[in-house]
Amino acid sequence: MASPSVYRGVIPVVKQIGDSRFYVGVHLALVRDRLVCVGLDLRALNLSDSLLTEPMDLRNGDWLEITSPVLRGLPLSETIDQALAGYRAVVEQLNASTEEAVTTHGEAAAVVTTEPKGRGPRPQLDDETLQRVVAAAYRVGGRRPVQAVKAALEATGALPGPVTIDQARRAVVRARARGFIPPVKASGTEDEEDRA
């Protein structure tokens, strides 16, 4: 059974189209455990730099007509990527403040891990890292989830040295095997990893 979609909110992006600036509200939601764009708001109002600090009054202002050239001029992929990056930054900021609060109060809970059974070397990434770093980065990675996992592994220092794309792919496979990332659809249409 597929997990339900969860709306995450709208991320504001200001884009220059021709000689004018436009407000683009990118609506994000978790759909099948992936953070994706589910809607766009394009405001034809020529906005000033005070967009994010003052309330927008849609009754007044220097209105512009939305025409085909304006729509064609909107770099959609770049706009969605900017919104995803903005969302990731907010999530990372919240995670950092939460971790700081936990360590400040000395209430960090010890993670109980069981020793892996079997032969071979122990995995470099434990279940907590797979869940907190790999699965979280994969979910907010947009159209390039493996690249997001690679960046998250490098940022956290979870693996020694520079992280390769193959290490990131293996981490995704392992997180999927442990149930932290949903399985690939039966049709095998999850080609984002191949594009990374």
Q: What is the pLDDT of residues 150-191, one digit of tens each?
A: 988 888 888 888 889 999 999 999 888 888 888 876 655 554
Percentage of residues in the chain with pLDDT exceeding 90?
16
Which of 34, 69, 85 is at the close of a domain? 85
- Would 94 be classed as within a structural domain? no
- Would 111 be classed as within a structural domain? no
The domain in which residue 184 lies consists of 125-196
**Are residues 12 and 81 both part of a single domain?**
yes
Res. 108 pLDDT band, cuts 50 70 90? very low
- Would 108 be classed as within a structural domain? no
**Are residues 81 and 129 both part of a single domain?**
no
The model's pTM: 0.49
The pLDDT of residue 117:
58
CA–CA distance, 62 with 58 (Å, rounded to integer): 10
Q: Which two tokens stand for residue 27?
A: 């609506």
**Are residues 74 and 129 both part of a single domain?**
no
The pLDDT of residue 192:
47
Q: How far is CA 97 from CA 108, 113, 158, in A?
A: 14, 25, 19
To 10 degrees, the CA torsion angle through 196, 26, 33, 148? 30
Res. 45 pLDDT band, cuts 50 70 90? low
Which of 55, 85, 115 is at the close of a domain? 85
Is the pLDDT confidence value at 104 over 80? no
Q: What's the structural domain count of the chain?
A: 2
- Would 50 be classed as within a structural domain? yes
Element (H, E) at 38: strand 34-43
Residue scoring higher pLDDT (43 or 49): 43
Dihedral of CA 181/187/192/193: which sign? positive
* Pairing of β 20-31 and β 34-43: antiparallel
26-46: average pLDDT: 85
